[in-house]
Amino acid sequence: MKKHYFLAVPIEEKQRMILQNWIHNHKSSLPFKSWVHPEDYHITLAFLGDIEQHSKLIELTKRVNETLKNDQQFEISLKGIDVFGKAESPRILWAGVEHSVSLNHLQTRIVKACEETGFQLDRKPFRPHITLARKWNSVQPFIKFARLDEVFNDQPSPSLVSSIHLYQTNLDQIPKYEAINIFPLKRK
């Protein structure tokens, strides 16, 4: 079984708990086929796909270390729940984050490091999000309930981005994402 790799921001425990609490309160009315394990919550910066050459991972690790050597930690906050896909039958339920210049800048630089290492990346615009569930699984259409996009406005939820992880996907395990390299950011 091929393994896929990606670079991502891991989600801190306190934000995972906020998301889990929201899911606990709404899951019965949201029949998605699969729910993401809380330890797998992350914000993807660059999806690398299958990597057949170990030397490419070594080169990427060096380049990402160099790219991040002066980057400082920063905070992000949860903002809303939304979907990707057809309105009546979405493929992804996700939690968003407040706009962050630091996060956007970091993602741009990570993509550049990956491309300089020879990776062909998807060039869709960056939409930072945390996937919560996949594949609507009901004959009834999905109905976007009131305030879906304002779910976390009443709860302060800043979280520290203190590292970037290089993850490997293990489809036969739960949780399925394994951090095979951690790139720490400097403390302020």
Query: Rounded distance, CA 14 to CA 138, Å?
Result: 31
- 36-84 per-position pLDDT tens digit: 999 999 999 999 999 877 889 999 999 999 999 999 999 999 888 889 9
pTM of the model as a whole: 0.92
- 77-124 per-position pLDDT tens digit: 988 888 999 989 999 999 999 999 999 999 999 999 999 999 999 888
Mean pLDDT on 117-140: 94
CATH number of domain containing 11:
3.90.1140.10
The tokens for 153 are 């406005």
Bond from prior residue into 175 cis (ω within 30 degrees of 0): yes
Residue from 42, 54, 99, 165 carrying the catalytic annotation: 42
For this structure, is 4 an active site residue?
no
**Torsional class of 52: left (φ above 0), alpha (ψ -120 to 50), beta (otherwise):** alpha
Q: What is the domain extent for residue 79?
A: 4-184
pLDDT at 1: 66
Query: In percent, how much of the chain has pLDDT > 70?
Result: 93
Q: Residue-wise over 152-166: b if at least 16 C-beta within 10 A, else e? A: beeeebebebbebbb
For this structure, is 129 an active site residue?
yes
Domain count within the chain: 1
